[in-house]
Structure formats: structure tokens, C-alpha cells
Amino acid sequence: MPDGIAMRLRKFLQTPKGLLLLILAILVALGLPHEGLGVAGPGVAGAVLFAAATDSVILRARRKRWEFPDGAILTGLLVAMVLSAQQPWYFTAITAAVAVLSKYVFRSRAANVFNPAAFAIVATFYVFDTGQSWWGALPALAPLKQALFIAMGLFIADRVNKMPLVLSFLGTFYLLFTVTAFAGEPARVAEVFRTPDLQAALFFALFILTDPPTSPVKYPDQLICGAIVGLVSYGVFVGIGAAYYLLAGVLAGNVWEAWRRVSRRFGYAFPSGIGAFLREISPWREGAVRRVQATR
């Protein structure tokens, strides 16, 4: 390998995005043999290729140059590691492409509004009726490998400075379910304390909830956001029992974070600023702004 390429690779792997890509690759390598290379492999490959191709074309059109779609590859891996490996590979691939597209459709001036993987999995659930096994959390593997997954998750969460967000979510989430269990409905909520839901919650908290573009930076905001995500996830689970209860929670947290950023930047007040906020995150915001400027 040429020295220049090796140096750029080393620098990339020292960044949070590069480290996360390496960690997810390790988890995939650990989980694939159990799921079956011929079963889960096509979904992983399809998700990564469809996500990378979609993002590469968009980046080329927007910036007039080819760029390495590292963020899209991460998104594709997350989608593949959450969705069931037993479903058709193209369900996973299409979901990954939808995830990348959502970054460009739903965004404020600062960043994309929704976590791409979470948005796409929830959206395509109603199209493909996709299942979620969260096999990337290694729920069926030996405790030592699960401990490795947790250690790597804690490392990356600390690296992106999101530990208050993780702890706030987990504390709120499990407190609500514990209270429900002691209030007389233990059988109704017992599964969240067991495999694979337990590992799914940890994977979600460490790798999805901590997405830097869609999560708060300051600790007080992280504590609030984590509590919102935990509350909504709990509400969706006990209210409608949807398989995507964790992902619904993070989407609610994304909306709150987008509102917080927009209101802080422009001084919108609640509820009078709702219309302005919706215009800010609208898929047609940039086109509308250009049309207004053209009339001046």
C-alpha cells in the first residue's frame, strides 16, 4: 500500500467515524458466522453497496467531485445489523438507500433532522413488514463476545462525548419498565430485560442514539434528550407494542433536538414558532428560500 494512502487510512481510523466503522466491521465479522454467511451476507453487502452508491451519486452532483461515502457505509451497516438477516436481501438494501436519501430530504440548516438508519427502518416497516433481530448486538453469542461489544460501544460513546445521553436513556427506559413490572404487570414487560431485547437496547444506546449530527452536544441537553427517548420508547412498547419502539424513541428525540437547535438559533418561542420550525426542516425549505430570494 502506498505511503500516502496508508497515512490517510491511519488518520481516518483515528477519527470517531473511522473508529465506528472499524468497530461495526468487527461486530459484523463476529455475528456473520452465527447468522450464516449465505444468510446475512447478501443483506450486509446490499445495504452497504446501495447506501454507498446512493450517497456517492448525490455527493458528486452537489459538490462536483467524487468523495468516499463513509457516512453512508456506516448507515448501511447499522441498517443491516438491526434488520432480520432472514428476510430478502433487497429489503435491507432498499432500506439503506432510503436512509441515505432521508439525510438530504429532512434537514435543517445545521444537519439532517432524523437518524438515517432509524428513520428508514421505521418507514420501510410499513412497506415490507420487515423484522428486526438486532443480530449486530451479538445476542446469541458467548458472554465474552457480548462483553467485547459493550466495551467497544462504551469506548465510542465516550469518544463522541455522549455518555450522559446513553445513561439518561438507559436510566429512564429501565426505570419505567421496572416500575411497570412492580406495579403488577411483570409478564407484559419481562422481555425487555431478556435476550435479545436487552442487547438491542444496549446496541441502540451506544451506536444509534449517539449519532453526532442528530444528538445534543451539551450535557444538560443530552440528559433531557435521553429521557425523552426513553419515555417515548417505553410508551410505544406498552401502547402499541411496535417492534420499532426503540427507533420511534430516537426519532422523537431527533425532533426535539432539531427544535432546540432551530429555536436557539432564531429565537423561536413555543408554540408560536412551530410554523417557522416546520418550514425550517421542510424538505422543500431550500427551494422555497430560493424562490423568495428570486422575487426580491
Number of domains in the chain: 2
The least confident of 21-25, 69-73, 276-280 is 276-280
Q: If you average pLDDT over residues 16-27, what whole number do you get?
A: 94
* Residue 229 shares a structural domain with residue 173: yes
Cis preceding-peptide flag for 271 (omega within 30 of 0)? yes
End residue of a domain, out of 128, 151, 170: 128
Whether 178 and 253 share a structural domain: yes
pLDDT at 292: 30
Residues 288 and 177 in one domain: yes
Same domain, 94 and 214: no
Q: Quick one: DSSP state of residue 185?
A: -
Mean pLDDT of 138-151: 94
Confidence (pTM): 0.89
CA distance 280 to 109: 7
The mean pLDDT of the chain is 89
Residue 199 and residue 113 share a domain:
no
* Residue 264 is assigned to a structural domain of this protein: yes
Question: Considering the domain boundaries, does residue 140 fall inside one?
Answer: no
The set of residues, in sequence order, having a beta carbon less than 8 Å from that of 11 and lying 6+ positions away, is 18
pLDDT tops 60 at residue 270? no
Given this model, what pLDDT does residue 96 score? 98
Q: What is the pLDDT of residue 14?
A: 81
Domain that holds residue 199: 162-295
> Minimal CA–CA distance to 122: which of 10, 218, 232, 198?
232
88 and 209 both lie in a single domain: no
Q: Which residues of 31-52 are buried (b: 16+ CB within 10 A; e: fewer)?
A: bbeebeeebbbbbbebbbbbbb
- Best CA proximity match to 98, nearest among 120, 113, 82, 79: 120
In a domain, 173, yes or no: yes
Structure confidence at residue 277 (pLDDT): 58
Give a yes or no: residue 135 inside a domain.
no
Same domain flag for 259 and 202: yes
**Statement to judge: residues 113 and 33 lie in one domain:** yes
Whether residue 45 lies inside any domain: the answer is: yes
Mean pLDDT of 202-210: 98
Residue 101, domain member (yes or no): yes
Assign 199 to helix, strand or coil: helix
Residues 235 and 123 in one domain: no
Answer with the one of 75, 108, 128 that is the final residue of a domain: 128
Asked if 173 and 115 sit in the same domain, the reply is no
Lowest mean pLDDT among 166-170, 215-219, 262-266: 262-266
89 domain residue, yes or no? yes
Highest mean pLDDT among 6-20, 112-126, 269-283: 112-126
Please write down the long-range contacts of 152-157, taking CB distance under 8 Å and 24 or more positions apart: 152/23, 152/26, 152/27, 153/23, 153/202, 153/203, 153/205, 153/206, 153/207, 154/206, 155/19, 155/23, 156/16, 156/19, 156/20, 156/23, 156/206, 156/207, 156/210, 157/205, 157/206, 157/210
Whether 147 is in a domain gets the answer no
Query: Residue 264: pLDDT band by 50, 70, 90 thresholds?
Result: confident
For position 143, what pLDDT does the model report? 92
- The reply to whether 111 and 217 lie within a common domain is no
Helix (H, G, I), strand (E, B) or coil at 51: helix
Same domain, 17 and 110: yes
Residue linked to cell 497515512: 7
Work out whether the CA dihedral 220, 222, 225, 226 comes out positive or negative.
negative
